[in-house]
Structure 1
Amino acid sequence: MFAKSFRVKSNTVIKGSDRRKLKADISAAFPSLSADELSELIPNKEELNVVKIYAHKGDAVILYVLQKNPLFFELEKLLYPTVYLLWRYPALLPTFRTWAPVLQKLIGGADLMLPGVVVPPCGLPDVKKGACCAVSVVSNRAPVAVGTASISSEEMHSLGMKGRGVSVLHTYMDHLWAFGDKSGPPSVTDEDCEEGMIEEECDVPEEAEEDEILEELSEDRRCPDDLACSGIEELSIAEQGEEKGEEGSEEENDQADQKTPQEIMDALLLQCFMHALKSKVKKSELPLLTSTFLRNHMFSCCPSGKQIDLKKSSYKKLSKFLQTMQQQHKLVRVKELAKGVESIVEVDWKNFELRSFSLPEEKDVEASPVQDGGRGEIPYSPPEITTLYSVPARLEPLFLDANKRKGATMHPAEVRSIITEYVKRNELVAVNNKNYVTINPTLCDCLLEKSEYQEIESLKWDDLFTRTLGRMQECYEVVYPGQAPIIKKGHIEPIDISVGSRGSNKKVTLVKHLEVYGVDPAAVAAALQHRVQASSVLQPVPGARDRVSVQIQGNQIHQVGSLLLDHYQIPRKYIQGLDKAPKSGKKK
C-alpha cells in the first residue's frame, strides 16, 4: 500500500476527547497491551498528530504520529501498527518468518507467499483469515512488515504451503516508514521473544507426528547457500504470479485507465523531479533558481512523447510542488534568496526515496539542454521559434475539408496551401483574370466586413491570404533542445534590454524575459559580471513569480547584445533595445 508515495491531505494535533477514544480503540484492537503501555503510546501531555493521507491507489488512510514516528495507521476503520510500534513491542502480533532476500520483494509491493515462509518447529502462528499479522526475517525477530492473513493457519497446512500467505500493507523501507525518522529495526534475539517457552508449549506428544513433518519442512527451507535463497525467492514470486495471473495485469491496466489526467501529471512531475536530482543537478550548482531547475533539468528528464504542464497537475504552481517535495519528502530545501525569487539551496542526496529511485533507460530521455553561460561546460543551444496560426470559429468552414477544426494550429505555408486548394476545388479562380479569386458566400462570411458584402466580388490572391491570416489567432511554437514543443497564443515576448537610473543618477542595464528563450538569468549575470567587471544582481519581475531580470551597473547594452547574439545565438529580431547602446566615443 505504501510502496509508492502518498499525498498528505491534513496534519493536525489530536483533541483530548479523540485521544481518549483512540486509546480505547487501541485497547480493543490489541488487548495484550497493558494500561501502562497504552499510556506510553498515547501520552496525555505529549503532542500526538493525526495525519490524513491518500495512498497512491486513492485509499484514504489516517496516521497517528508520536514524536515524528507514525505508530498506527487506520484503514477502513481498522487499526494497524507500524513497524516503529512493533519494534517496541515485537510480540504484539502473530508473526510469520521469511528469508532476508524475500524482504526486498515485500518492500517492492509483493505479498508474502507461503513457499517463502519458514515453518518453526512449533508450527505456524494461529491466525484466522483477515487477521492482522506481522512478518520478520530469520536472522532477526523484529517485524519488518505488517499485513493481514490471506487464509487461516489451518488452510495454509491443508494447501501444502502454496499460495498467498500474507497480504502485505506496510513494510520497513516503504514510504510510510520514510515518513518517520527512518531508523532501522533493532536486533531482537529468540530469547527476547521467548521462543524457547513457545517451543516447550508446542512440544506435546499428541502432535508429535505433525511436528516431525513440520520439522522436515523447516529443514528443507534452511537456505544453506545463496542458491537456495534465490530458489525460495523465485518460488515465492512464481506462486504469486500463479495467484494473480492475468487478473493482476488486467487490474494494473484498469488502474492506469482509472487515473485522472491530474494524477498522471503529478506522477510525471515526481518522476522528472527525482530524475533531475539524481542525474542532472550537481552540488556545485547550488543554490539553483527554481525556474532554471524546472526549465533546464526537469524538462530535459521528461520522457519522449510526454510534456510537463504544471497547470494540469494538482499543484498548479512550481512553488507549491517544490514545497511538497520539501515538507513531505524532505528531498530539497527551498529558500527565497531575493524577494520573490526562490532557489534550491540544499538537496538531501542520502534520502532513501532518492537513492532508491531507478533512472529510466537513456533511450526514453532526450539530451539535456544544459547551458554554461560562458563557464566552459556544455554549450547552450537556442530554442527553435516558429510562428503559427490558429483556426478561429469564424474561419472554420474554410478548413473543414482539410480536417482542421477550431483551435488547430498551422504554419503560414500550410494555411496558404489549404486556402489555395479550397479555391481550386470550388472553381473560384476568376475566368478573365487568374490573379483574382471570386468571392463565394463562405469566403464572404469568413473574410469580408459587413460593409464590404455588396461591394467586393473578388480579391487578389495576396489579399485573400493576408485577410485569412489576419483573422486567424497568431501563436508561436517554441522547441527547447531535448524537449517537447510548447505552443502559446499571441506574440512571443522579445528579450528586453533597457537602461535605467538608480540612486545618485547612476546608470544600470536591465535584461528581462531571458527565461522565454531557455537562457539562465544567473548564467547571464555571471558572464556579464566577468566581462565588464561590474556588479550584477537578479531582481524579481513584478507579476511574474518564476521570472527574474538581470541588473548590471552602467550602460552595458553592447556587452549584453554581444553575449546574446554571439554566445547564445538569439536571433536579433527577438532582442529589443539594442538601438539604445551608447554611441562610440561617448561616456558610458
Structure 2
Amino acid sequence: MFKKPATLKPASTLKSSARRAFITHLQSLYPALAHATPEQIAEVVPAGLKQCGATTSGGHKAVIYTDEKGKPLWFEVGHEAASALQQSQQQHKKQAHNGKGKANNVQSNLAEVIPTIYALWLMPTLLPRLPTWPQIVDPTLLGGSALMIPGLLPSPHTFPDDLQWREPAEQGDGTTEGDKDGSSSSGSSLPQKTSLVAITAYPSPVPLVIARLETDMKDIITKRASGEKGKAASTLHALGDHIWELGGKEDPPNDEEVQTRSAVVQQPPSDDAASNVEKGVESITLSDDKPADTAAAGQEDIKDEGVDNKQKPGTGENKFTVDEVDEILHLALLLSLKQIAKQPGTTLPMPTSALYSTYVLPNRSSQWPPLDAKGRKRARIAPSLVASAISDNGNDGKILEAESTDIRHCSAKKLAKWIKQEEKHGLFKTKDVKGKDTVITTINDSHADLRGLEAYLTIAQAQQQGATEADGSTTANGPNGVTNPSATTAPKAIIVIERFWRPSSSCVKLFQEMGCETSNPVSKPVIRKHVLQFIQEKELVDPRNQAMVRIEDPHLTHALYPKASLKDIPAALRREELLERLLSVSCIEFHRTSRLTPEHAAKVTQSNAKGDDASALENLELDKEKGEIVGQMTKGAAQLVKVEIKTRQGRKVISLITNVEVYAIDAEQFAADLMRIVGASASCSTLPGSTAKHPKHEIFVQGDQRKAIFDLLESQHGLDRKHVHIHDMTKK
C-alpha cells in the first residue's frame, strides 16, 4: 500500500483536547493501551502530535499521525480516513456532557486507526504478533506480498501465547486455557477475520510488518496444522516502505528491548506503581517479588547481565545449560559453513538471518553429545568443540529439544551479537548493509575447525529418519516420542542414468570394421575399447608423438569429418579428442534412467565403467518394494531438472522447477513436500504440450529455495546435484 511515496499535505498540530480524545479513541481500539502507564501512552501518542493528510500512489485517501520530529506513529487509510479524530472528539464531548469518565470499549463502530512499526517498537503488545520464517518476511512480505498459511510456523507455534497481550482478568493465576488444536491461545481470545496483526521474523519478537487477517485465526491454525493452503494475512505496512522512510529509516530495536517493553506492558501496575505514576515518576521498575497473578504468562528471562553459564534455561531432564547451547550452535554453524562452501550453487553474500534459519537450525546435533552420521555411536568431534559434553561421564546423552537450544538461550541472546562473536573466530566475514540484514560475504574454508569437522547426526536428518520409519519401516522411539537416531532404516533408491550411443549412417562402416554393435546402442566404455583396438590394429599411432592418432583410415576419416574438405581435416588427433568427436558428430545418443538401491547402482556403474558388452541391469533381481525401477531406452541426452530463480512484481523472488517427470518424480507431491519443508507457498501447474503419456509440469515456490530443492531431490529421490541446472535470473 505504501511501497511508493504518497503525496503529503502540510501537517497541523493537534490541540490538547483533541489529543486526549484521540487517546481515548485508541484505548477503545487497543486494550493494551488502556492498561498502559501515562509514560507509555505519552511515547506512542506524544504531546505535540501532528496530523498530516495524504494520498497513496493508488489514489487512496490517508491520514498520518506523527510526532514533533515527523516520525509516523499512526495512520488511517480508505474513504473514511480522518473520521477517527472527528469521531473521538464527538464521543469525548458526549461523555463529558453525560458525566462519564471512562471511554466506551465497544469497538463495533469505531473508525480504524492503524499503528506503524515505530509505534509497535515502543509498545510491541498493541497488536497480536504472528511469527513466520525470516526468509518469508524478507523479501516476500517486505515486498508487499501477502502471508500465506504454509509460511506460518507449524503447530503449536503458529500463534504462540508468549507473544500476545492478555488482560489481567484473563490471566487469573497466570495461566490461559490452551486451544484444542495445539495453539497455546484460547479460542475465544484468538483474533478474528479483518483483525490487525504484527508479523515477526522467528525467533525474533520484533514487529516488522503490519497486516490484516484474511480469515479467523482459529481457522488459520487449523489449516496450518493440516497442511492446507490459503491466504493468512494481507500486508498493509512494512519495514522499508514509504511510511518507514518518513520516520528517518530507523533500524529495528534489538530483541532484548522489545522483550523488556512487552513484559512491562503486560504487567498491570500495582498500587505502589500507580501512586508513583501520579507523582510523575518517569520510569517504573518491576519488583522481583511480584505475585504470580501479575506475572507475564510464558515470558522468558533473557537479561544479559548476571547470567550464570551453568544455569539451565529451563527445567526438565532434556534442558541445556548456556555453555551447551553455545557449543551446539557453534557446531551447527561449522557444519553449515562447510556445506555452503562445498555448494557451487550457493551464492554469497548471504543474509545472516537466512544462514541461521535455513542452515544452522536444521544442522543442530540431534543429541548431546553428538552421534555419528548413522546415529550408532558418539561422533568424533574435537574436544574443544564439545567441552561441556566431556563432563557427561559416558551417559547416554540428551535428545535435543529445538526450542531450548535456539539463539535466545545462548550467551549472546540475539542473532546479531552471536554472529559478531562467531566472526571473531575467523570462520567468515560479514558486512552490515544499511537498512537491511547483515550479510555473510566470504567463508574461510581453509579454517582448521572446518577442515577437521566430521559429520554427525543433525536434527533434520533425525526427523527425516523418523518420517521414513513412520511410513512402514521399524521404529525405535526415545524419550518424549523422539525417534531414536540409532534405529535402522531401509536403504533408499537412487537415480542412475546410463548413456549409450548408436552409429549414424556416416559411421556404420567404421563400427562394422571395428566389430562393434551397430543396431543396438552401446555404452561409451565399449566404444572406447573397440576404437583403441582399431587404432592399434591399423597402426595409426603417431610414432613421433604416442599421444596422437593419425587420421589416415578412410572409414575413420569419413566418420570424424563426414562433410569436411581435405584441407580442413587435421593430420592427427589426441585419443580422447578423437573419441569425443566420433560420439558427437557421427553417433546418436540414448539414455536410460533407472531407480536402484545403492548396492545395485554400484554394480551397474562398475559394469558400465569396465566396458562390459551387456549392462549389469540384465542380470539383477530388482526389489520393487524398495522402489527399484528400470527405465526405458530413450533417444537423446538425459534432461536436467531446471530451477529458475526469478524476480516478479518488483522484489518478489520465486523459484520455478521443471523436468522432474524425467526422473519419475510426482510433480504435485514434490510441490507439497517442498511447501512443507520451506514453509512457503508452492503450487504445481500443467505446461502446454503436456499429455498423459508425457506429462510436463512447472512447480512454483516463493523465495530462493535452491538449497531446499537440492536437498529434497537428493534425500528423497536420490538425484545427484549434477543433474540439476540452476539459472539465477535475479543477478544483474
Report the TM-score when normalising by structure 1. 0.34
Point out the structure with the larger strand share.
Answer: 1
Report the TM-score when normalising by structure 2. 0.28
